[in-house]
Amino acid sequence: MKILYNARIYTLDQVRPLASVIAIEHGEIVAVGGDELRSAFERADRQDLQGYTVLPGLTDAHLHLQHYSLSLQKIDCETDTLEECLQRIKERVQKATAGEWILGHGWNQNSWSRWPAASDLDRISPNNPVYLTAKSLHAAWANTAALKLAEVGAGTPDPKDGQVQRNAKGEPTGILLENAVTLVSNFVPEPSLAALADAMEKAQPILWKMGLTGVHDFDKRESFLALQELHAQHRLKLRVTKNIPVELLDSAFKLGLRTGFGDDWLRIGSVKAFMDGALGPRTAAMFQPYFSESENKGSLLLDGEQLFEFARQAADVGLGMTVHAIGDRANHEVLNAYEQLRAYETEKGLPHLRHRIEHVQLLHPDDAPRLAKLDVIASMQPVHATSDMLMADKYWGDRTPLAYALKTQLDAGAHVAFGSDAPVESPNPFRGIYAAVTRRRLDGSPGPAGWHPEQKLSMQQAVEGFTTGAAYAAYAENRQGCLTKGALADLILLEKDPFSCDPEEVKDLQSSATMVAGEWVLEN
């Protein structure tokens, strides 16, 4: 039994929102209260939290744990100069074993004086293959050893939707654009299961420091295998909701796997399908063309009927759906399918599951209230609003009042759950909270008012998205995202109180100590 006292505890429980003492036993909260609780439970260990603020551990409701964990192991190529990047690569090459692939991410030729080339890498890594993805993920930079292994040469034709950058003699320069990146990436060996599990374990303290104790994972089979390995070895110290790719729906259906199966560490979430592409490459499915591209409306990867067929099969075994939808047309089609699905659930006497839409980036005005009406969760990433704002203005123009419209969803009464889509963005939830509350980037742009300030959330709403909202989406609202009797003892300590400090200070908040299942897993 542990008693934590002298704290400013935000419980996220409407019955008792603030407390100063919390009692914990066997990884769960047994009591929450005021000073009267401080001397209760004779045999308890008592810890003075010195007035720190306590929040429930935060959950990222949309993250790619495998890709994020592996990205942490790559060389960070986001440097001011090409020379600095080459220096980092050189240091890694010196430690590498023979034949080991040297991987990195984050370069951007616009911040450098010129495009990099294979020859730059050949000087520092003549033998080890080097493969470095650009920050945009729309380009990659390889050395000659990597190009040789992949058999990319002057005679290699450009693949569909891709281009091998070439010199005057037609020889590859080492830069691969768009789809051409796969010419080399297909040869990068997949990490072993043990290596992936290790990478995920190493990611945990980084996530705890950011304030996260839970994630909803959107990676696939390898990720699930590695998570089960960590779980079996008691190395998993994050609460993970594992979503299933729609390609495996048949297998899950045959097996009879259901949403919610598992335990407090690892549980089955929903079936993930993709309705469309993304805003950056203008592949998100739109009702009206993108600005300055009169022909392009993006495209649907599925139509509403096909999605309903998947959803019906899933519903028959008790699996919920979670569907990626960016453009207004894509969201419209998902909502139509969900409308049919709700009718089907009712007709068959099936439970009304907590279906979700991932991103909900742009809605048609007629569709804005439909998530609430159909009781569909809006799983959104507040930080996308500010990182995408310039692109959204450029490509969507006057449609942006209903882009990244977090407040519209809350006002309509929809359940929301917040995440980051890491590694696309940093998984730091305080960056997401900051974006939700200020609608500004870290550099202050687009100005004090923020982008579409009418969509700003209160601190309470923003924090709820990463706590109670994410917990609801995982069917775990009694266990996660709140600090009440019977909930898991997952919590974070903050030096500043986000509810009373200047919102500008919120972006730099990090956890001073993180508790998972009643144990301090991170202490400063």
For Zn ion, the closer of residues 218 and 310 by Cβ is 218
Q: How far is the CB of 68 from Zn ion (least distance, A)?
A: 10
Please state the three-class secondary structure of 47-80 as a single string. Answer: EECCCCEEEECEEEEEECHHHHHHHHHCEECCCC
* DSSP letter for each residue of 254-266: HHT--TT-B-SSE
- Residue 425: which residues within 8 A CB-CB, separation 6 or more? 381, 383, 384, 387, 431
Q: How far apart are CA 184 and CA 153, in angstroms?
A: 11
Q: How far is the CB of 358 from Zn ion (least distance, A)?
A: 7
Q: How far apart are CA 396 and CA 239, in angstroms?
A: 37
Q: How far is the CB of 417 from Zn ion (least distance, A)?
A: 13
Q: How far is the CB of 246 from Zn ion (least distance, A)?
A: 14
In the complex, the residues that contact Zn ion under the rule CB under 5 A are: 218, 421
Q: Nearest Cα to 105, choosing from 462, 424, 397? A: 424
Q: How far apart are CA 367 and CA 243, in angstroms?
A: 26
For Zn ion, the closer of residues 325 and 494 by Cβ is 325
For Zn ion, the closer of residues 388 and 490 by Cβ is 388
Q: How far apart are CA 242 and CA 452, in angstroms?
A: 33
Ramachandran assignment for 361, one of left (phi > 0), alpha (psi -120 to 50 degrees), beta (any other)? alpha
Q: How far is the CB of 63 from Zn ion (least distance, A)?
A: 8
Q: How far is the CB of 359 from Zn ion (least distance, A)?
A: 8
Q: How far is the CB of 460 from Zn ion (least distance, A)?
A: 26
Which residue's beta carbon is nearest to the bound Zn ion?
A: 421
For Zn ion, the closer of residues 242 and 342 by Cβ is 242
For Zn ion, the closer of residues 381 and 514 by Cβ is 381
Q: Nearest Cα to 451, choosing from 511, 502, 387, 519? A: 387
Assess contact for 322 and 269: CB atoms under 8 A: yes
For Zn ion, the closer of residues 218 and 308 by Cβ is 218
Q: How far apart are CA 164 and CA 175, in angstroms?
A: 7
Q: How far is the CB of 390 from Zn ion (least distance, A)?
A: 21
For Zn ion, the closer of residues 208 and 218 by Cβ is 218
Q: How far apart are CA 322 and CA 341, in angstroms?
A: 13
For Zn ion, the closer of residues 367 and 421 by Cβ is 421
For Zn ion, the closer of residues 276 and 421 by Cβ is 421
Q: How far is the CB of 425 from Zn ion (least distance, A)?
A: 10
Assess contact for 143 and 174: CB atoms under 8 A: yes
Ramachandran assignment for 303, one of left (phi > 0), alpha (psi -120 to 50 degrees), beta (any other)? beta
The helix/strand count (H/E) of the chain reads as: 18, 24
Q: Which two tokens stand for residue 210?
A: 């950011």
